[in-house]
A and B are shown apart, each in its own frame.
Chain A
Amino acid sequence: MSSSELASTTAAAPAAAAAVKHPRSRLKFKDTWWRHAVGVVAMCAALFPVVYIVSSSFNSNSSLQSAQVIPSHVTLHNFGSLLHNNVKGNTGAKQDAPYPHWFLNSMLISLLTALATTVLGALAAYAFSRFRFKGRRGGMMGLLLIQMFPQFVAVAAIYLIVLNVGEVFPQIGLDKLAAVVIVYLGGAMGVQAWLIKGFFDTIPTELDESARVDGATAAQIFWGVVMPLAAPVLAVVALISFVFTLNEFVIASTILQTTSHKTLPVGMQLFISNSYDKVWGPFAAGALLAALPVAALFMFLQRWIVSGLTAGSVKG
């Protein structure tokens, strides 16, 4: 490009920009209004169940048809009857619904599963990230492929396994919380291990090597160096597996049979399983309470879900 050409283009540029500017800013709303519309619709769709659940949990009327969005009588009656195992159907018959038991069962199973999943996933991820061994690639692909099969297609097999194992080890047999945790952990290694491995790969190996020269064993490096640095991804994995376990229905309903051994989703389903006698009020109240620990866990883990924790480890 000659210098005179260059001069003419630079001179023309501001004029052209000015000419374009006006129509573009007018176009802006015409072009983008639909984004706002989509946003509003999506928000309504997302909030509708929440509003509905909140409103019906404080509503004294336990049928859905007669419920209003703003309850005429705000009451804590639904919560009370849940906590005191005093849920009555529309006919007035008392239902066997030990909600506090279900709540505790769910918390126990979900916390244990989340914790164990995170640790197991991290252990596997550490091996895949740091060690070079035969079958490393194959192992990683295998994990992912196995994860592709939904766990519940194996539910008949899982039932049989738990049944038979229970004959030998009654502690992890049918109707035992431990059995559910163990079955969940069987599916823990897939995506989580990949996720954590991806994060481990970004932690410089010099940190491992430096610790090794300093005299650390592989276990000391794992717990003392790698795990603290991976806190963000560990928090995410723990949260995901906690929420997943809390919501899981098929396996829990297959293994847990006694009413007081059930988890929240399995137990609460009883409230709405009777075609003529659905108790929506207590159901909504129960769902609301069940959301609290998730929110609490999120708040608790949030401070670890921060980026830039490795800043300052390497380079100047």
Chain B
Amino acid sequence: MADVAFNDVDKIYDNGVQAVFGLTLDIHDAEFLVLVGPSGCGKTTALRMVAGLEEISGGTVSIGGRVVNDVSPKERDIAMVFQNYALYPHLSVGENIAFGLRLRKEPKEMINERVAWAAKLLDLAPYLNRKPKELSGGQRQRVAMGRAIVRKPQVFLMDEPLSNLDAKLRVQMRADIAHLQRELQTTTVYVTHDQVEAMTMGDRVAVMANGVLQQVDAPQRLYDRPANLFVAGFIGTPPMNLLEATATVNGEVSVNLGGNVLPIAPEAIQQYPRLREYGGRPVIVGLRAGDLHPAQGRDDLPQIHATVEIVESLGGESMAYFRVDARYIKSEAAEEEAVLASEGTPETVVGSRPNLVASFPPHVHLRLRDKVPIAVDTKNLHFFDEASGAPLR
């Protein structure tokens, strides 16, 4: 067991591309840390530097207190699970799992014992004599896990290990892997671009964008207190609505959101006290889908008016997409490319697409193109500076 520490780590590839900028991150012993971010943000690069498969251009990486910049992968005592599993096709499942132990010339009884242990843990016992090509995707994934756990390494490194599985299996394996990690208490760095995976699996989640670490926190804190606009737009399903508004401060604080004046609840001001300094200035307001309600029967809440664009019924709830007359920030999930193209802070855009999504109870009757009132629970709103993307805390 060991902790892993990045200390001001840079990675510049031979072609001059800098994939990681000044990454500083401490991963505690026995922790399950998820590294999440959009495609191309440098997650894999960071993970491969821990594995020793990629040279470290600047800073240090240490495992268990030992700087490993110049230590070969073999001597780092880590195990890695690759996105495509990387099973040895000419070896049986049992031989695949035993591969690392055989290389280390462990005694035969010990190898057999460990392989049996791993196979039992992962329900692979009936398949030990099969070749990888005779297994299903989920079984292959478990073999890859088996190969990692059998050596009882200090650290597990996993690079999108579930991305080749279908949705249902992914949900199950998600739980299985998290459970296995808690059982084994092995420090784990898990890379994914799927924020749901990150939120459900990680003890803590590190969000990266464009090679820069944005925030490291427990999933719930990431959701409740995003450190900047990027994290706010990235974490959560559906992503947070981020709209441009103008603040007004005269004793009470309110924002003007596309012509709708929204008085802000004192709880929100407590969270974001600097909003008071933004009187007469534009701010970015973050509204979670769950804080928007149908107006009927919620006279206690202030309202905004928006045009109904799309309604998707999910059975237990309805996702309603509206348009408000305000500039907005494209959500990370929907518009990965746009954020990749814009360096640093996301920019607001004017568009004709829906810019406000609400999760409503089922059977709410909404007619397309109607302008309807929506009740807003302003206690949980988030506020950000438009230029820097910093929260107004």
Contacts and interface: CB of A to CB of B under 8 A. Distances in A.
Interface of A: 204, 206-207, 209-217, 220, 225, 228-229, 309-316
Interface in B117-141: 131-138, 140-141
Given A211-B99, A212-B53, A313 B74 contact: no
B89 A213 contact: no
Contacts of B79: 213-214
Contacts of B52: 212-213
B278 interface: no
Contacts of B133: 311-312
Contact of B74 (A204, A206, A215): A215
Q: Which 8 A-B pairs have the closest CB atoms?
A: A312-B133, A316-B137, A314-B84, A214-B100, A312-B132, A206-B86, A316-B164, A313-B89
B103 A215 contact: yes
B78 interface: yes
B212 to A, nearest CB: 26
Given A206-B82, A214-B100, A215-B100, A228 B90 contact: yes
A315 B84 contact: yes
A271 B141 CA distance: 65
A229 B164 contact: no
A207 B137 CA distance: 17
B272 interface: no
Contacts, number: 84
A314 B86 CA distance: 5
16 contacts: A204-B86, A209-B82, A210-B82, A210-B147, A211-B88, A212-B52, A213-B53, A214-B79, A214-B99, A214-B100, A215-B74, A229-B90, A312-B87, A315-B164, A316-B140, A316-B165
A216 B90 CA distance: 16
B141 A316 contact: yes
B287 interface: no
Nearest to B164: A316
Interface centre among A213, A229, A310, A311 (most CB of B within 10 A): A213
A86 B136 CA distance: 65
A204 B53 contact: no
Contacts of B103: 214-216, 220
Interface in B305-336: none
B104 A309 contact: no
B90 A314 contact: no
B354 interface: no
